[in-house]
Structure 1
Amino acid sequence: MASAGDRAILNSIFNPLLPVGECVYEEDIPKELKDTDDESPDCAEAKEQEILGVKAAEAGDVEGALVHFNRAIKITPSRPSGYNNRAQALRLQGKVEEAMADLNTAIDLSKGKGRAACQAFTQRAMIHRLQGNDDLAREDFQAASNLGSEFAKAQLVQMNPYAALCNKMLHDVFSKLQRGECAGV
């Protein structure tokens, strides 16, 4: 049996577009949150197109990646995964509004549950954060956190002003201790 660390490493290899440790390893996802996966030949073909798209994106061919993601969506338009992947490629091209539309579609198709929703909420939260919409980012990070995203949980902590202040105070105390400035502590 692989450890959680081993699974995180394998996940980052097989899902390079996701933050490390993201709600992907099937054993770690509660049964009620798992994606229902279609085993039809169409679904297998769509998954293959997504794999080719990810490989193209890794090679720096975002246009080629989009071709594959578009094919995957055409083959199985009700699978949220293709929309998640295409959103990432669109975001890389600076097409943020189109990426957001795909993320909204992925969330709608997944009914806000499972791995696809977790990924879509996380991606959407990151876009909101980059745009300075921290309230919307918090909502999406919370939704992703509820679906098991450790990355989203960490982001929520970072966005909490009290946690940031506490971390700064601890950092200052430890720095003073290292410099010998806190005698008698």
Structure 2
Amino acid sequence: MEPTAKPDPTTETALRSLHDIATPEPVSWMPQTWGWGVLAGALFVMLALAGVRLMLRYRANAYRREALSLLRGIEEQLRNPASRRDGIRNLGEVLKRTALAAWPRAEVASLSGDNWVRFLHEHEGAAAGDALARLLDDFEYHGAEVVADLPSNVCGDLVVAARNWIERHHVPA
């Protein structure tokens, strides 16, 4: 091993004068200017308003969810020829109850026949076709044996048209 060389006095003085590295303070997450605070507050208010709006929309559409759950039971009735007549009658009833939940009773309760069909067409969000018109104008008044002989695709079309109307009808504010 070699002997260690003694550093010169200038180097020794320089080494003794060294200090530990000074690290800066951690950067604060608090906004540095008041503008960022205003922006954060505005974002919070907008998010709160959006949440309230979503909650109100969810509550306002409770009648649609109820009608769609009733429609699932009616769909089962329509598949069975023995209960098809009751299913068609119940389908018309669910449509009327849905309309009564969304519009004032005075506007909807007295509608029947062509006026009822016209009301459904005026307030549908997407074209439901003539399936609902056939249901309301024709199928409800046939005997049980005629309704039992309906092809299954007609019953399926009725359910699809009713579901579309329930989901997509437009209610004025």
The interval holding the TM-score normalised by the smaller chain is: under 0.3
TM-score scaled by length of structure 2? 0.28
Q: Pick the structure with greater CA Rg.
A: 2
| Larger helix percent | 1
